Structure 1
Amino acid sequence: MHTFQVKIKKAHYLVCLLLVLMSCKKSVEPVSKSPVNELEKTYLANLDSSIVYLDSLKKSSTKLELLKFYKKSRKQFKLAEPILAFTDKENYKTLNGPNILKVEEEDATDIKIKNPFGYQVIEELIFEDSIPLNKLHSTASKTANRLKLIKSNTVLRLKDYHVLWIIRDEIARIALTGITGFDSPALGQSLEEAVINYNALEHIIKTYKANFKSEDLFKTVISEFQNSKKMLQSGEFNSFNRYLFIKEHTHKQLALLQDIKADWTIEFPLELAFNNNMTSLFSKETFNMDFYADYVEVDSLITAKRSLGKTLFNDVRLSSDNSMSCATCHNKDKAFTDGLRVFPKQLRNTPTLTYAAFQQSFFYDGRTGNLEGQVVDVVNNNNEFHSTLKSMEKIVSEDSTYVAKFNDIYKKGVTQRNVRNAIAVYVRSLGDFSSKFDKNINRLEQTLTQSEINGFNLFMGKAQCATCHFAPVFNGTVPPNFTESEFELLGVPKDTITNVVDTDFGRYNVFKTEERKHFFKTPTVRNISKTAPYMHNGIYTTLQQVMTFYNDGGAAGLGIDIENQTLPTDALNLSNTEIEDIIAFMHTLEDES
């Protein structure tokens, strides 16, 4: 029986959405007072005001004036954010992206190096000791021009289910990046901006009031947004209780979206990264696994595939000399790592396979784009399986037990692709959000200590961990769209004595892009209590050492001068107690199984 059909690629998801949501303004129909038109009117007004204030900023020279017009423009941008981020993801990422050189590597012949611009860049320039006015005005002009382009080419074509997606994504964005300080690096006004975001969501709900059959539900949603704003307004960035906010407000709002879905009688035509019925950010029901894979799997055969993949994963016969299986380096008792600094004849530390499914690139250097491709690399590697896909297929096809199982599950039986798919399906099952932290934030138990809660709040706030290790998976795949896995340059040393940067160039080795030297993919922090030693070269044996490295400012803190470091170079000034709390929190991310 055939087990999968060709998957609509993530890019195709976006293309389909854009075709529905945006078109040339020349095709505008006569304006009516439909909620979509009202929403568009407000959205375009927000974009226009953002532009006007940036134009004023370009004429300013004092820090006081620059800040005044920046904040005014930023406020309007944040009011437009829910719709802009959904209808024009790439432009939103550009306008709200970090002040870091942007490198796009499609393949060796298509590499683009782009200087950043947008709000974060403007914000950081304003706070430089000596404000570079020419660069600041130029950046503001480029940002305004991009907003003008978006405004002049936007017509919203929103269905009701799009509106629910917009609201859901913004609720998640506030919780996962907004309140972490991800996009307010100098001003630190993340909580204030989250209030602005909730004002935007409140406006959307009020615009669609006529859709509500239940007046009580409408009032409940508005009241919940207002309660969220009150908590945000009463908080201070470093002491804000993000754990309580997500538990009491974010998850309540996601549940209310399910009530709205029923009240509006919504049917979704497809699922994006989030499952359409999700009510928690930290659950095995949160994500649509097909979004991350290359094929839409048939649900009735998933269990059989996982079982078959697990057997293959542990089969040493797949290596040329029958000495190694996948499990040789990925031991389930060590969260699918090996406990070694670097496995013999390998270049880097063995990463965990738990939650490996929830990313868009694989290996520390991101040289493959899916788990099936990762299997190919392992099979062909002379220091791992030292074999070929053809040999692997031959070994499996000569085992009658394997043949019977493959024939039962796959239409074409044993093929190279089917063997790789079975292993990949098994690996995608590793990680079930069963940790102590997940159970507590989902109200299944109340066992977190105050130290562990403090650690989560620090991780998501003052310590800036979550600006690279994004919740809920705590890896480098950026929420709420989860289409990009980030790479970072930390400047990890080659040893703990000389403080010289490690000689491994990381991502550079894939396409030889100079600006990617020493960049590595951000791994998950889940199950980190079992995955020592740490970093791509296994240099640190304890989490205390890792935290000291980050607390001191990475390479810069060690006195290593390295270009393009993405980790903030200033010390975090965490106390010993705060470091202990963060480590305590990370230990709560150990899965039960």
Structure 2
Amino acid sequence: MKNRFAAFAGLCLVVGLSYCHSEGGQQTAPPDSSPTGQTTEQANSRPARLKAAVARDLESLVKRIDQELLPLTQRPISQPLPVDSLRLAFRRCRLAYKQVEPFTEYFLPATSKLVNGAPVAEVEVEETKMFEPAGLQVIEPLLYPSPAPAAQDSAARGELRRQVGRLRRQVRALQLAWADQEFTDAHVFDALRQQVFRVVALGITGFDTPLSPAATLPEAAAALAALEAPLRLYATTTNDKAGPLAQLSAARAALQRQPDFAAFDRLAFVRNLANPLGRGLLALERQLDIAPFPGELRALRPEAATLFDTDAFNPDFYTGNRQWFSKSAKVALGRQLFFDPVLSGGGGRSCASCHQPGRAFTDGLALSATLSGGTLRRNTPTILNAGLQAAQFADMRAPTLENQAIDVVGSRDEMHGSLDAAAGRLARQPRYAAQFRQAFPESEASGGPLVSPVRIQNALAAYERSLVRLNAPFDRYVRGDKGAVLDAAAVRGFNLFAGRARCATCHFLPLTNGTAPPAFQDSEAEVLGVPERPGSRRLDPDEGRYVHTKLAPLRHAFKTPTLRNVALTAPYMHNGQYRTLEEVLHFYNEGGGLGLGIAVDNQTLPPDKLHLTPRDVADLKAFLVALTDTAGQH
């Protein structure tokens, strides 16, 4: 969970793959991608009208900043700061941004991040650079909670004026960039569905509004309202009671009907309203013969109607190399290698020695045993769903599963092996030679050795990428599968997870890891302040990401792990010191390390207590148990 209570104290670590936007995201489709039976001029008329409408909305946002927000920050220092008026102007600007959000976030994500991104420094590890955050979420901590920091401190007041000026410049940058955008009907529908996903994963969880929860649901309603005018350009009929316009209206009404952040039934909203809206948008797109970018490589497949669709995610996105994409022969070879001690130096340990299928691919130990009889310094994580992350290991030092294999096999403490030596041993076994030939048919034309270290790595990774498990009882229920049932405690637990307990602001839906929606191309790390042992007020000495980067904000930062199958993967945290889910939930309930009195100056978890009751904790655990899916595990 980001510590949005201190605008610059937090850290958002982003490690990912480029994804082909005009700024680094969505791929531009060819100009002739138009619905069947329409001329190019007819097909382009709707995108042109939409482009003009977004331009007008951006101009309105600039005017709100210029006429309402900015003047209030520029009053003489001798005059009191009009906090109530500032908050009202600020809320109006946020609502105005929601009107353009579907398209600025889709087409111009880098600039949009400086208008409404997380209020934490972005770290580019490879370039060893940090970038100062800007925008609405940076301004919010200066105005909330009561008393407003900007009203109490002259330095905060000056910072407020500076940040509002920066906000205006970034919105102007959006205006200028938007003027150059060219897009098609397919892009429009892609953006509309992604906005629905954004509302589900970020909007209703309070990700944008951590200090003003009363604004969360009204802003989510505004985020959906932004879809109405574009959708009316395409709707075949405006009075279809089962069509996407009606579904959109129903979803907005639900958000407006229950403005209480804590009381809102998020699970019912997602299952009964948001998911049907996503399906309705995709159905209308296909009805109009608009192809949703088939075959385009994305983490969330372009044809996914909801975040919870079966096979919605494509782990091959995270390979970084099309030659490494999975296929059944690679998976079968990788499985064979995973369970074979042939990769280790002494032939006595396989990957499965520590990642045991019967323990959800963990080992049940706080710290795994080394080959020399000691212990490793970190807990063994599950590899179920590990393929749906943009970085591996708790310290995120490996960008892919292929890179991870090098470290583990070569580690003196873990396998003490050599991929080169293993390749030689495998090449001499006819069974393996045949499997490599089937898995890598291009090998005969390459002229190189049939069995090579990189092919061993890729086969192992292909097997691990096959271990995607997203069909838990919760998934079946939320997607509306017939016969799917979720008990009342788990329902309450989900509503806490995605609401008052703030879990989903870091363990993002639907993956419940740190891979950020709706693009799912970057993975995040957090500084939680984990103690060296339960009850201690000493911070665990493991410095996490800092060991490899030497960047101060990354000291004690660790990857946000998946909570899928978490009921089976005890003990918990990077050091394995919490043996039960109740202990982990107590840690978060107290506000992490800072809340427990541990000295950690860069904690990104909010230090405020969550005030969860014993029933709340039991309900959260019930939801976490409902994330268990080990079907087909072997």
Specify the SS of the correspondent of 1:368: coil
**Equivalent residue number for residue 238 of structure 1:** 262
Q: Is the partner of 1:233 in helix, strand or coil?
A: helix
CA contact under 8 A between 1:534 and 1:542: conserved in structure 2?
yes
Where 1:338 maps in the other structure, the secondary structure is: coil
2:101, 2:223 within 8 Å by CA — same for their partners in 1?
yes
1:378 aligns with 2:390: no
| Equivalent residue letter for 1:38 | R
Q: Which residue of 1 aligns with 2:274?
A: 250
- Structure 1 residue 427 displacement after superposition: 0.3
- 1:579 counterpart (617, 621, 624): 617
Between 358-367 and 110-119, report the one with greater CA deviation. Answer: 110-119
> Shift in Å at residue 94 of structure 1?
2.9
Q: Secondary structure at the match of 2:71?
A: coil
Structure with more relative contact order (C-alpha pairs < 8 Å, separation 6 or more): 2
Which residue of 1 is the match for residue 218 of structure 2?
Answer: 192
Q: Does 1:115 align with 2:115?
A: no
Give the corresponding residue for 2:417: 387
Q: 2:245 aligns with which of 222, 225, 230?
A: 222
> Which amino acid is the alignment partner of residue 230 of structure 1?
A
State the 1:217 CA deviation. Answer: 5.8
Give the Cα–Cα distance (whole angstroms) in 1 for the partners of residues 312 and 562 of structure 2.
17
Contact 1:118 1:139 in 2 (8 A): yes
Alignment-derived partner of residue 533 in structure 1:
571
Matched, 1:356 2:386: yes
SS at match of 2:388: coil
Deviation of the 1:18 alpha carbon? 6.5
Aligned with 1:469 (options 507, 522, 528): 507
Shifted more, 248-257 versus 472-481: the winner is: 248-257
Q: Following the alignment from structure 1 to structure 2, what is the Cα–Cα distance between the partners of residues 73 and 103?
A: 28
Change (3 A) 1:488 1:421: same
Q: What are the within-5 Å matches in structure 2 for residues 53-72 of structure 1?
A: 53-55=64-66, 56-60=68-72, 61-72=81-92
Which of 343, 354, 357 is the aligned partner of 1:318?
343
1:366 paired to 2:405: no
Does residue 152 (structure 1) correspond to residue 176 (structure 2)? The answer is: yes
* Count of paired positions: 571
| Pairing of 1:204-219 with structure 2 (within 5 A) | 204-209=230-235, 212=236
Query: Residues of 2 paired with 1:92 and 1:159: CA distance?
Result: 21
Quote the Cα distance in structure 2 between the aligned partners of 1:113 and 1:297: 33
User: Residue type matched to 2:252 in 1?
Assistant: K
The superposition leaves residues 550-588 of structure 1 with CA deviations (integer Å, 9 ceiling, x where unpaired) of: 011001111123222111111111111011100011001
Deviation at 1:48, TM superposition (A): 2.1
Cα root mean square deviation, aligned: 2.2
Alignment correspondent of 2:446 = none
Cα distance between partner residues in 1 of 2:465 and 2:249:
39
**Structure-1 residue corresponding to 2:10:** none
Q: Which amino acid aligns with 1:388?
A: S
Corresponding position: 1:428 with 2:465: yes
**Mapping of residues 262-277 of structure 1, within 5 Å:** 262-267=286-291, 268=293, 270-277=296-303
Q: CA deviation at 1:543?
A: 0.5
Deviation at 1:417, TM superposition (A): 1.5
Report how far residue 199 of structure 1 moved.
1.1
Q: Is the 8 A contact 1:221 1:256 kept in 2?
A: yes
Structure 1 residue 10 displacement after superposition: 4.4
Query: Aligned to 1:351, what secondary structure does the other structure show?
Result: coil
Task: Name the CA distance, whole Å, in 1 between partners of 2:466 and 2:309.
Answer: 13
After TM superposition, the score normalised by the length of structure 1 is 0.92
The 2-side partners of 1:364 and 1:33 are apart by 47
Structure 1 residues 12 and 430: alpha-carbon distance in aligned structure 2, compared to 1, 3 A threshold: closer
Q: 1:292 aligns with which of 318, 326, 332?
A: 318
Tell me the amino acid that sits aligned with residue 58 of structure 1: L
Structure 1, unpaired ranges of 5+: 1-8, 23-29
Please state how far the C-alpha of 1:251 moved relative to its aligned partner: 1.6
Aligned-partner residue type, residue 366 of structure 1: M
Find 1:166's aligned residue among 170, 185, 191: 191
Cα 1:244/1:208, change in 2 over 3 Å: same
Secondary structure in 2 matching 1:239: coil
Q: Equivalents in 2 of 1:198, 1:513: separation in Å?
A: 39
Displacement of 1:13 in angstroms is 2.4
Aligned partner of 2:46 in structure 1 is 35
Partner in structure 2 of residue 25 of structure 1: none
Shift of 1:51: 2.3
Q: Tell me how far apart the structure 1 counterparts of residues 21 and 415 of structure 2 sit (CA, whole Å).
A: 37
Counterparts of 2:386 and 2:536 in 1: how far apart (Å)? Answer: 33
Q: Tell which deviates more after alignment, 437-446 or 419-428.
A: 437-446
Letter in 1 for 2:18: A
Q: Confirm or deny that 1:330 pairs with 2:355.
A: yes
Is 1:75 matched with 2:95?
yes
Preserved contact between residue 275 and residue 288 of structure 1 (Cα < 8 Å): yes
Paired letter, 1:222: L
TM normalised by structure 2 equals 0.86
Sequence identity, in percent? Answer: 34
Q: Is the 8 A contact 1:125 1:136 kept in 2?
A: yes
Aligned to 2:372: none
1:258 and 1:218, CA in 2 relative to 1: closer, same or farther beyond 3 A?
farther
Counterpart residue identity of residue 392, structure 1: A
Residue identity in the other structure for 2:159: K
Give the CA deviation at 1:451: 0.6
- Counterpart of 1:93 (choices 85, 88, 113) is 113
What's the offset of the Cα at 1:505? 0.5
User: Which segments of structure 1 move beyond 3 Å, counting only runs of 4 or more?
Assistant: 15-22, 214-219, 295-299
One-letter code aligned to 1:247: R
Matching residue's letter, 2:364: G
Q: Is the contact made by 1:393 and 1:415 (CA closer than 8 Å) also made in structure 2?
A: yes
Give yes or no for contact 2:25–2:109 (8 Å, CA) kept in 1. no
Distance 1:323 1:307 in 2: 22
Counterpart of 2:56 in structure 1 is 45
After superposition, residues 446-457 of structure 1 pair within 5 angstroms as: 446-457=484-495
Query: Who is 1:13 aligned against?
Result: 20
User: SS of 1:14's equivalent?
Assistant: coil
2:438 maps to 1:438: no
Q: Distance in 2 between matches of 1:13 and 1:392?
A: 37
| Aligned: 1:547 with 2:585 | yes
Cα-to-partner distance string for 1:162-196 (whole Å, 9 max, x where unaligned) = 11110111111100111000111111122111111
Instruction: State the AA in 1 paired with 2:134.
Output: F
Is contact 2:193–2:305 with CA below 8 Å preserved after alignment? no
Of the structure 1 ranges 70-79 and 390-399, higher mean CA displacement relative to structure 2 is found in 390-399
- The alpha carbon displacement at 1:19 in A equals 7.6
Matched, 1:124 2:141: yes
Shift of 1:592: 4.2
Unaligned runs of 5+ in 2: 1-15, 31-40, 73-80, 151-155, 370-374, 444-449
